[in-house]
């Protein structure tokens, strides 16, 4: 698999279509999520092979808590199991794993523990950075950043007049994440679904009809090819 000449540094993916994949096969929804895990592994390895610097995956949103409790419980358990099983595999490929999202009371302690263990395990790696957006919402991230800045201003640690875009970005969940270059959504829907709102202000958007469990390395390479054909002006002529 050859990489396009112009590879985006940061790719963000909305992994959509697990439920519809299962429904089309008369299977329970959790079978779709399980099939989606294999697609995650394929996407991660393809990202390394294609030379992507940062890959950010939308695993569980702040809105996903509204789903039926059995499905939420399954997603939480499966997230823990998947990370425990795959982190050594990713670590062997020099992948650095990070997380973004709220660490509130709804996130079980065992999930927080495995997140922290994995960050520590892979923290010195210098290959692709894989970021999992878990209990994440773009609006929530912006609100939390604004709250942190307001708290510093009230404590007189920050002059409000000195808040600019750069200072605001440093208050986001992971200020080391660069802006998104390529935003991919699978499943045929064409919306951003409250994902990476600040970071994606100048991202190129690619919407794919393929359901996430069917996502292959070639689909990622094809999206990168589409990206390489785009002309990015960033407001200039």
pLDDT digits (tens, 9 = 90+) for 181-235: 999 999 999 999 999 999 999 999 999 999 999 999 999 999 999 999 998 877 7
Catalytic position from the list 30, 64, 77, 194: 64
Would you give the distance in Å from CA 36 to the centre of its chain? 14
| Buried b or exposed e, range 145-176, using 16+ CB within 10 angstroms | beeebeebeeeeebeeeebeeeebeebbbbee
Give the domains, in start order, of the chain with CATH numbers: 10-229 (3.40.1180.10)
* pTM, entire model: 0.94
Indicate whether 127 pLDDT > 80.
yes
pLDDT band at 43 (very low <50, low <70, confident <90, very high): very high
Task: Say which of 16, 18, 181, 219 is annotated catalytic.
Answer: 16
- 16 a catalytic residue: yes
What DSSP designation does 179 have? P
Residues contacting 131, CB < 8 A, separation 6+: 54, 55, 56, 57, 97, 98, 99, 100, 174, 177
- 64 catalytic? Reply is yes
Residue 231: the pLDDT is: 82
Residue 79 has pLDDT above 90, yes or no: no
Rounded mean pLDDT of 36-47?
Answer: 96
Q: What is the pLDDT of residue 221?
A: 97
């Amino acid at each position: 698999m050859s990489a396009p000449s112009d590879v985006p540094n940061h790719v963000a993916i909305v992994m959509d279509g697990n439920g519809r994949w299962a429904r089309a096969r008369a299977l329970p929804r959790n079978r779709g999520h399980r099939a989606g895990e294999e697609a995650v592994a394929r996407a991660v390895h393809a990202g390394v092979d294609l030379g992507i610097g940062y890959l950010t995956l939308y695993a569980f949103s702040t809105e996903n808590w509204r789903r039926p409790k059995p499905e939420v419980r399954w997603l939480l358990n499966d997230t823990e199991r998947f990370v425990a099983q795959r982190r050594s595999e990713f670590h062997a490929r020099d992948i650095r794993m990070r997380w973004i999202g709220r660490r509130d009371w709804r996130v079980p302690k065992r999930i927080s523990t495995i997140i922290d263990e994995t960050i520590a395990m892979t923290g010195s790696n210098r290959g692709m950075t894989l970021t999992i957006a878990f209990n994440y919402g773009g609006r929530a991230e912006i609100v939390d950043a604004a709250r942190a800045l307001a708290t510093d201003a009230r404590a007189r640690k920050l002059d409000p007049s000195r808040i600019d875009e750069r200072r605001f970005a440093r208050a986001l969940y992971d200020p080391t994440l660069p802006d998104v270059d390529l935003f991919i959504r699978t499943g045929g829907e064409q919306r951003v679904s409250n994902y990476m709102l600040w970071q994606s202000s100048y991202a190129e958007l690619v919407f794919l009809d393929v359901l996430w469990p069917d996502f292959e390395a070639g689909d990622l390479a094809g999206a990168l090819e589409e990206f390489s054909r785009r002309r990015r002006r960033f407001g200039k002529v």
